Chain A
Amino acid sequence: MTAATVAGPHQYMAEQMRWRWSEIAFWLATLLPFLVAPSYLVLANQVAITALFALSLDLILGFSGIVSLGHAAYFGVGAYAAGLASKWGWGEPLSGLLIAALAAGLLGYVTSFVIARFRHLALIMITLGLGLLLQEAANSASWLTGGFDGLQGIHTWSIFGEFHFDLYGYTAYGYSLSVLFLIFLIARRLIYSPFGLALRGIRENGQRMPAIGAATREHIRTIYTIAAIIAGVAGALLAETTETVSLEVLGFQRSADVLVMLILGGTGRLYGGLIGAAVYMVARDQFSGLNPQYWYFWIGLLLIAVVMILPNGILGGLSLLARRLKVPS
């Protein structure tokens, strides 16, 4: 234990927040696809988008303890908002992100009033219900959403007139990665703020929070809205970079997949969702020849294994390993 050598509380707090070399290495590594694997840029783009989505779920699940089985609702709303804007004639990508953020944020804000009032099974069921409801509604409103076939006629303009979206994927991945990094910086700042501490307090012991004077429901509404906005932006990125939006963006499948990715990577660590998304999607790409049923067989086994052996996911396992290595026996 380094308790004797830590100078004081302020130094300790500052130590918790400083950038680790592993983080810098991680972000440098995200540039690799440009240099060594340009044929995988399309996949890298998908990973970046999904990582952003997983990050948004981590904020409510990993940091605040809100179990949501319907988070794809906000992803889907963002995707459709950006897609529809483009279809109706406005294909400017950056403002498309803003439109998606607004739409998803509004839905998130409204639903947060319901979410903040419940816990345990009722909460899980309500989030599930919201997701399923939206999926059904989108299915029924095929005049708007294009139904099973999806939105047609999306065309994304170039960024600042300079960067055009093409089949090679350089612009797409650069765009998604930049957005991911920027939002990550914001999320990181949030986590190390007093609000971030309050969220962890809610996760650790929601009952105690009112007893120390915390306006718990307000906190939950705020983070839920923020997470909805981020999920919406991720959805918009998908719509803009792939120029397709279909019903699956709001589907239960997507909500379940992102949950698996986050658990795989490790919740409450900010990087867990990113790493989980990368591992999951690369693996899925490698096994894409496999019948989807069999893919879920292995995912099922993986889930069981993770819960039984590595409850804190990959990152949890790594930090356990790091601790074992540091302590001389």
Chain B
Amino acid sequence: MPPVFGVLFDGLAYGMLLFLLSVGLSVTLGMMNFVNLAHCSFAMLGGYVTVTLMNAYGWPFFATLPVAFIAASLASVALERLIFRRFYNAGELEQCLLTIGVVFVSIAAAAYVYGTAIQPVQLPDYMRGSINYAGLNFAVYRIFLIGISLVITIALVFTIETTRFGAQVRAAVNNQRMARGLGINVDGLFALTFALGSGLAGLGGALAIEIVGLDPSFALTYLIYVLIVVSVGGLGSIAGSFAAAMVLGISDMAGKYYVPALGSILIYLVMMVLLMWRPSGLFGRR
């Protein structure tokens, strides 16, 4: 098999990860128009929870994943209740500044507690190594990552399309005022969606450790990629986030493999071109 398939596979895995990290932000941005730049701080939290449970308490990797999800969810609920909710009607700039402040604080806190080195993590034996197929190596962990992401994606789509909760979310994203008028408790809905989205980010952060490494700068570095996915995909759109994450993941891998001298230039260019073509995102409204 030509190496392009290996690149596609890696790009797919990376894209799935980006999707998990981004989908929560896209939906909450689309629903409340609240620019939460601290989204990746929750991802980072999930990552550090996993690291702590595994390295300090000897937990198995899989057991830490639900805890990462829950920890990030709870943290987001606390922040939302205490600080964020007063700024739902504030301007974009204020929301940016407020949440950047949270990011800075979270990075410093992580550096204080864990230091700035990349966190080591020991995957279980059956997760390591790779499967050799048709001349190419496919990392077992990435297969797992793609698998679990697909499961989560299907669960998300199922929830959004078939459950009452999902219908309410779609209504609130589409037209908040109308949704309130119909009696939907938009504030409560948002709090729940925010918690779920942040939880997913936390899970993504835990899963990311093996692929991209975890250190305090994660909250800022991956914020940029997440913002690219969200703005290119379109606010409030799960399909958009998925498509954009795939495009981004594959372009990034392809760029790094075929033209490493370009570095990240390719993704920034792709983002800008796509945004200029569709300012509201590929699947965005307006």
Judged by CB atoms under 8 Å, the answer to whether A and B touch is: yes
Residues of A within 8 A of B (CB): 61, 67, 114, 117-118, 120-122, 124-126, 128-130, 132-133, 136-137, 139-140, 256, 259, 263, 291, 293-294, 296-297, 299-304, 306-308, 311
Q: A117-B276, A122-B231 are in contact. List 13 more A-B contacts (CB 8 A).
A: A118-B276, A121-B231, A124-B92, A125-B228, A125-B231, A129-B272, A136-B263, A140-B261, A140-B265, A297-B109, A300-B106, A304-B101, A307-B87
Q: Does B63 contact A (CB under 8 A)?
A: no
CA distance A125 to B103 in the complex (A): 18
**B residues adjacent to A (C-beta < 8 A):** 29, 35, 83, 86-87, 92-94, 96-98, 100-109, 111-112, 116, 216, 224, 227-228, 231, 235, 261-265, 268-269, 271-272, 275-276, 279-280
Task: Give the shortest distance, in Å, between A302 (CB) and chain B (any CB).
Answer: 7
Distance between A290 CB and nearest chain B CB, rounded to angstroms: 11
Closest to B279 in A: A122
B44 to chain A, nearest CB (A): 14
Whether A296 contacts B224 in the complex (CB less than 8 A), given A132-B268, A303-B97, comes out as: no
- Are A130 and B272 in touch, CB under 8 angstroms? yes
Q: Which one of A61, A136, A256 contacts B100 once the chains associate, using CB atoms below 8 Å?
A: A256
Q: Given the known inter-chain contacts A67-B92, A133-B268, please indicate yes or no for A128 contacting B227, CB distance below 8 A.
A: yes
Minimum distance in angstroms from A317 CB to a CB of chain B: 15
B116 touches A293 (CB 8 A): yes
CB-defined contacts of A125 to chain B, threshold 8 Å: 227-228, 231, 271, 275
By secondary structure, the A interface counts as helix
Given A125-B231, A129-B272, A133-B269, is A296 in contact with B261 using a C-beta cutoff of 8 Å?
A: no
Select A297's contact among B94, B108, B263, B275, beta carbons within 8 Å.
Answer: B108
Residue on B nearest A137 in the bound complex, by CB: B265
Pick from B100, B102, B265, B276: contact of A126, CB below 8 A: B276
Complex CA distance for A280 and B215, rounded to whole angstroms:
27
Query: Given A118-B279, A122-B275, A140-B263: A300 and B112 within 8 A (CB)?
Result: no
A139 contacts B280, C-beta separation under 8 Å = no
Nearest Cβ distance between residue A324 and chain B, in whole angstroms? Answer: 23
Q: Look across to chain B and name the residue whose beta carbon is closest to the beta carbon of A299.
A: B104
> Of the candidates A139, A259, A303, which one forms a contact with B104 in the assembled complex, judged by CB atoms under 8 Å apart?
A303
Contact of B102 with A120 in the complex, beta carbons under 8 Å: no
Task: Determine the distance from Cα of A161 to Cα of B254 in the docked complex, in whole angstroms.
Answer: 54
A-B contact pairs, 6 of them (CB 8 A): A61-B93, A67-B93, A118-B275, A121-B235, A256-B100, A263-B97
Pair B96/A124 contact, Cβ less than 8 Å = yes
Chain A residue nearest in CB terms to B269:
A133
| Nearest CB on B from A241, distance (A) | 29
